[in-house]
Structure 1
Amino acid sequence: MTKKSAGIEQDKDNVASKGISRRSFMARGVAVGAAASAAGLGLTSKPAPAQTSGPVRVGASGFEPLEVDSPMVRWKKPQSLEFIEKAIKNYSFPNWQSGNEDSIYYNLNLPEFFKCSYVAPPKKFSKLERAIDPSILDLGYTSVDGKSTPPLKEYLVGKRQVQAMMMAHKGKVVFEVYPGMNPTDIHIWMSASKPTVGLLVAMLADEGKIDLDAPVPTYVPEIRGSAWEQATVRNVMNMSSGLDIEETIANLLNPDSWIAKWFTAGFELNKGDFREMSKNAQPLPDEPAGSHFRYSGANTQTLVLLTQFVTGERWQTTWNERVWSKIGAKNAFITALAPDGTPLCAGMHNTTPEDLLRYTMIYTPSWNVVSDEQIISGRLLKSIQTMGNPEAYKGSTEEQYGTDWFGEVPDYNSAQWDHVFSDGAMFKHGNMGQGIYVDPSRDFCGMYFGLAPNPDEISGVDHSPGFLRNAAKMLAGG
């Protein structure tokens, strides 16, 4: 099936549809967050307006999305000048990460606060058909403590402050809701950005342009002769570099830790050079590279530098050539830049919800809904799914997060994905409640954006990953 046969069309006339913390990885700030009502989900099914003259315009994708009775709905409207000016004045890295009302504004308007790179959408976009399944609203599952979660319709309006959630099965959108943003608004992906970096590196390895088992400094001149020499590209892909760069709460709250200083240098002007700092990362005693999964965005940014060195292009140029320009994205891809112009791909991508869903679809058998060509071959997908080391994952901090989120223990991490299951499903989490889930064997993918106050003790466990996985199982019959 080609884009043409899949319904690719120019972005002109919209037609009516046929169907209806990350774990406080930054500093703990003031965790305010508006108290959310646990009242149920109010649905309104609005028919398309009768056409009189001109095109029918019913929402961003030619349909009227479901509406939810959420306190977050006010973020769909323009905020007052007084609020915006105050939020801008109050901007700081800790305030952004706090999950308060200021940070909701920041996450929906990131280009106002960071220098950004803009990748334009192609001239034609891929049309995603809708086949909404309302029964997903009643879905619940058993959490790790043995208790049943509330149904999704209640969870969506709770303390996690979900702003958007979409799911697709067999190439059609089966669930779509926007509690706290508009379909055409952009939102930050946070660490759900990281698999884009892993994908490009996996592509280069698949083409023989890099050796996954070569020391990573082979392809990153800035860190040659440093402790990074002990880590292979595979180790860095799997976040098991054996270096003291982990994003633990203790490290991030300690301004003298390497990772705290590294983040400051990457995110703030005149606070140091994050590339230069990378040379000073120290090895962990008695921990060989590859032996333990320790989460760190420094691994991801090292892979960004690797990609740029091997291709001789800016990372975002390679990303556009190989992925973004091919999936019929409807809107721009925006990524924030470090003070030196390096794209901050460890967590700073911004798109609309629907375009993020388009990206996740290329991992499924329904890739041809969004692309003329198979971007991720079967061989490449298997490499991404199986690159990780289950032994390195056992006992990691992330293993416990995954268990809390899904109500079952994932098997390992791999290629910048936090969690991989034995059935091949993969998940990546992002700070303050973002996530992507791909389940190729069930031809399912999903995404969500949110603004959960940190720490999780205030906003509760992020059950969105579990809802996505259990929706996939329900739709696929197990």
Structure 2
Amino acid sequence: MTNLTPALSGRVERYPGAPTPPMLDTWQDAPHNRWALAHVSEFVPTTTIRREPPAGAGVTRLDALSRVEGLAWRLADAYTDAFVVAGGGEVIAEYYRPGFAPDDRHLLMSVSKSICGLTLATLIDDGAVDPHEPVVRYLPELADSAYGDVTVQHVLDMTVSVDYDENYRDPDSEVRAQDRIAGWRTARDGDPADTYAFLRSLRSAGEPGQRFQYCSADTDVLAWLIEAVTGQRYAEVVSERVWQRLGCDDDASITVDPVGFAFANGGISCTARDLARVGELMLSGGARNGEQVISSSWVRQTLSGGDAELARGLAIQQTHRNASYRNQWWSTGNARGNVYAVGIHGQYIWLDPSTGSVIVKLSSCPEPVTTEWNDIHAGLFADICVALEN
């Protein structure tokens, strides 16, 4: 066992179900991830996304969802760490597994992407960024990369076409290289020195705008663009433009690479309650307490979803036949208009415009997202939404 940080070399008893402590290269895998996804700041460098002064805490309760048969065991069976249903500014139901408290932060994985989309939206609203302009207008450093001939909107919608493999299990994939550069796995000889260098190294795989391609690097390009436009570090911009304006109860955090670049595509950790505020912002047309945090037009565009034809043949459409991607958010394309953010181990913000409700689920599922887990969560959320109608 090598390449352990001091924080990962503690007593085995801290890691339920694991015969040995996690290593840097195993912390994302079951059973280690049960502990690790809630303790990222102990072994990956993080920086804080600051909040307004905290409010009070609540209690675990599921009585409002009594019509959902077997809800408690379904949550436990789906590796749920925290679960919150909110609507109208109120918490409707909550669940926290034993050992996880309402004020505990949890890694969001790719739900972080949707927060990046919101942050960029505030700059678009202010006129600081034009989504129809080329990325190189803001980041000339990317002129020779896969992003040299694409617009900001291409990146927001992940229709860039990049020579990039998002295979989480392949150690030679680009997404795993990003993990190593971010400090999430052991570095290899030949890896780019930091995220900036990595993004410059990516090459085009075709004409932009023709196909949807899920690519985590796209989100980090957006974070770099945010830094370039504001002259601030990404975490500072999220803090000022999103977290503080939402009135979050607790600080969030985000992991950073060796030069302090925030891992925007997957590195945010926060509480379930504060994440529900993000969802409620979307369902309120971008407003909170009379303040327009993001424009209603951007919210409408996002909730309308993208072009489902661009995603034809992808696994997600086995669960959601008309699934699409717009502005770093997923759309189911179903009759209810459900839109969501998702992380690979079952982290969710699920929006139900029909009832004005938000479902947040923070999980540590043993495998990255699969069709089976997509189906399980889609069924669970559908039952909850029906229960909320009465």
Same fold (TM over 0.5): yes
Question: Which residue of structure 2 aligns with residue 59 of structure 1?
Answer: none
* Whole-angstrom distance in 2 between the partners of 1:263 and 1:162: 24
Contact 1:231/1:241 (CA < 8 Å) preserved in 2? Answer: yes
Contact 1:130 1:174 in 2 (8 A): no
Distance change >3 Å, CA 374–CA 81, structure 1 → 2: same
8 Å CA contact retained: 1:360, 1:445: yes
Residue 324 of structure 1: how far off its partner (Å): 0.9
From 377, 381, 386, the counterpart of 1:468: 381
Map 1:119-134; keep pairs closer than 5 Å: 119-123=49-53, 125=55, 134=63
- Counterpart in the other structure of 1:222: 141
Partner of 2:24: 92
Shift of 1:454: 1.5
Amino acid at match of 1:185: D
- CA deviations on 1:395-414 (whole Å, 9 max, x unpaired) are 223333xx1xxxx5344211
Aligned-pair CA distance for 1:331? 1.3
**Secondary structure at 1:175's aligned position in 2?**
strand
Identify unmatched segments of 5+ residues in structure 2.
1-9
Amino acid at match of 2:201: N
Shift of 1:263: 3.1
Query: Does the CA-based 8 Å contact 1:130-1:173 persist in structure 2?
Result: no
Query: Pairwise mapping of residues 425-464 of structure 1 onto structure 2 (< 5 A)?
Result: 425-454=338-367, 463-464=376-377
The aligned amino acid for 1:318 is V
| Counterpart contact for 1:128–1:172, Cα < 8 Å | no
| 1:130 to 1:254, Cα distance in 2 relative to 1, 3 A | closer
Task: Give the alignment partner of residue 397 of structure 1, picking from 297, 315, 322.
Answer: 315
Q: CA deviation at 1:315?
A: 1.2
Distance 1:352 1:254, change over 3 A: closer
SS of the counterpart of 2:201? coil
Q: Distance in 2 between matches of 1:341 and 1:302?
A: 15
Corresponding residue of 1:168:
86
User: Separation in 2 of the partners of 1:198 and 1:186?
Assistant: 21
**For each residue in 1:64-106, what CA deviation from the matched residue of structure 2 results, as whole angstroms up to 9, or x when unmatched?**
xxxxxxxxxxxxxxxx94434999953223x122121x22221
Indicate the residue corresponding to 1:417 in structure 2.
329
Query: Post-superposition shift, 1:427?
Result: 0.8
Aligned to 1:231: 150
Identity of aligned residues (%): 23
Question: What secondary structure does 1:323 align onto?
Answer: helix
* 1:293 Cα deviation from its structure 2 partner: 1.4
State the distance in 1 between where 2:242 and 2:343 align: 21
Name 1:193's counterpart in structure 2.
112
Q: Which amino acid aligns with 2:199?
A: S
CA pair 200-120 structure 1, distance change in 2 beyond 3 A: closer
- Equivalent residues of 1:163, 1:178 under 8 A apart: yes
Structure 1 pair 420–212 and aligned structure 2 pair: CA distance change class (3 A): farther
Contact preservation (8 Å) 1:192, 1:435: yes
What is the match of residue 45 of structure 1? none
Match of 1:279 among 192, 195, 200: 200
Matches within 5 A, 1:7-86: 81-84=11-14
Q: In the alignment, is residue 108 of structure 1 matched against residue 28 of structure 2?
A: no
- Map Cα deviations across residues 333-387 of structure 1 (whole Å, 9 max, x no partner): 111111221111211111122111122211123977x645232332221132346
Normalised by the size of structure 2, how large is the TM-score?
0.85
Corresponding residue for 1:253? 170
1:395-450 alpha-carbon deviations (Å, 9 max, x no partner): 223333xx1xxxx5344211111334355431111121111112334311110111
CA distance in 1, matches of 2:47, 2:136: 26
Shift of 1:394: 2.2
Q: Of residues 160, 166, 175 in structure 2, which corresponds to 1:241?
A: 160
Structure 2 counterpart SS, 1:303:
helix
For these two proteins, the number of residue pairs brought into alignment is: 372
- Secondary structure at the counterpart of residue 264 of structure 1: helix
CA contact (8 A) 2:285 2:296 kept: no
Report if the CA contact (8 A) 2:347-2:363 is conserved: yes
Report the residue type matching 1:376 in the other structure: I
Q: Secondary structure at the match of 2:148?
A: helix
Matched letter for residue 170 of structure 2: L
Deviations 1:14-55 (A, max 9, x none): xxxxxxxxxxxxxxxxxxxxxxxxxxxxxxxxxxxxxxxxxx
Q: Secondary structure at the match of 1:298?
A: helix
Contact 1:242–1:292 (CA<8 Å) still a contact in 2?
yes
Q: Is the 8 A contact 1:191 1:428 kept in 2?
A: yes
| 2: CA distance, partners of 1:455 / 1:212 | 31
> CA 1:186–1:91 in 2, change beyond 3 Å: closer, same or farther?
same
One-letter code aligned to 2:24: S
Following TM superposition, by how much is the alpha carbon of 1:130 offset from its aligned partner in structure 2, in angstroms? 9.0
**Alignment-derived partner of residue 380 in structure 1:** 298
Letter in structure 2 aligned against 1:134: D
Partner of 2:4: none
Distance 1:106 1:114, change over 3 A: same
* Cα pair 1:136 1:471 within 8 Å, conserved: yes
Q: How far apart, in 2, do the equivalents of 1:111 and 1:454 lie?
A: 22
* Structure 1 counterpart SS, 2:294: coil
Does structure 2 conserve the Cα–Cα contact (< 8 Å) formed by 1:167 and 1:468?
no
Summarize the Cα distance change of 1:88–1:213 in structure 2 as closer, same or farther, 3 Å threshold. farther
Q: Partners in 2 of 1:390 and 1:324 — Cα distance? A: 31
Query: What is the aligned partner in structure 1 of residue 224 from structure 2?
Result: 305
Give SS of 2:36's match: helix
Contact map agreement 2:220 2:263 (CA 8 A) in 1? yes
